[in-house]
Structure 1
Amino acid sequence: MSEDRLAIDTKSAADAGKVSLRSLADIDGRTLAARTARALVAELESDAGGADRLSAGERALIVRAAITSAMCEDAETRWLTGHPIDVAAYAALTNNLRRLLTTVGLKRQPRNVTPDLRDYLAAHAEPADGDDSVTIEPAPRKPAKRARVSETLEPDILPCPIPPAPGDSQ
């Protein structure tokens, strides 16, 4: 196996027969790859409308996309610095990343950040002198607009006479 390929060793002498499953959250985040992956997770979650709006499946796909992206960046850096890379593995990673991002969604999902009117008014209202409480009362309604005379006429009575058509007798 070449040094560029990732080897997954699930057994060691210390824990024979045990498999330790670790995630991005479990590792030390001081490496550049971990910081890059975590930053991309945060950006993708934000693009998807926020972490609180994601399903567990969407969150898992976002984490996979971030880790795959970090692996692509590592391969790209190696190649740009003159080190050999496995081009087939790199192509598979970039294709996998494209599919993950397409599944999650490449378009930004806007979040509704409009405050509730009552909350907005309560936050911007000033209390009366010596009173710490704020009372929000609805504004008085304006009186209804009076209709114009032309709007009250019957449909068959027009405000100006129509001349008779030629040939009509009166």
Structure 2
Amino acid sequence: MGTKQTDIPKQYRPGWLESLDGRYGLARELRARFDEVCNDLGGADRLSYMQRSLVERGLWLEYWLAQQEQALSKGGDFDVGKWVQAANSLQGIYSRLGLERRQRDVPDLAQYLAAKAGEAG
């Protein structure tokens, strides 16, 4: 069994979010953000693989941008060109996913009760 990571990878790779050790706050925070974005889009169960992939990529870029901004605030190395390129990429991903919240498909009370009755019978 592989060792879980405690920080995000320096370069994006698919599945990085699941590779994070859930005992650490960073992993819990990023997974909560993933769930929040998916819920805003109507729920992870309604998203295609490609949409979930874009959400994961967006979160990685969001974190990377925040790290760069922290470095800048502390007087560290900061490449404005890379930052702008990443910010534009993040904007493109989020624009592609959609910026408006989407409602989940929720059954009305009669449908819910009928489904429950079907489970019991």
* Corresponding residue number in structure 1 for 2:103: 110
* Corresponding residue number in structure 1 for 2:60: 67
Instruction: Give the greater-gyration-radius structure (CA).
Output: 1
1:86 shift after superposition: 1.0
Q: Secondary structure at the match of 1:37?
A: helix
Work out whether residues 37 and 69 of structure 1, in 8 Å CA contact, stay in contact via their aligned partners in 2.
no
CA distance in 2, matches of 1:112, 1:86: 44
CA distance in 1, matches of 2:11, 2:59: 19
- Identity percentage over the alignment? 30
* Corresponding residue number in structure 2 for 1:53: 46
1:7 shift after superposition: 6.8
Residue-pair matches, total: 106
The structure in which a higher percent of residues are helix is: 2
* Corresponding residue number in structure 2 for 1:79: 72
* Corresponding residue number in structure 2 for 1:99: 92
Structure 1 position 23 matched with structure 2 position 16: yes
TM-score normalised by the chain length of structure 1:
0.53
Which structure has more relative contact order (CA 8 Å, sep 6+)? It is 2
Give ranges in structure 2 of 5+ residues lacking alignment: 1-9
CA distance in 2, matches of 1:78, 1:36: 21
Superposed CA RMSD in Å reads 2.8
TM-score normalised by the chain length of structure 2:
0.72
Structure 1 position 90 matched with structure 2 position 75: no
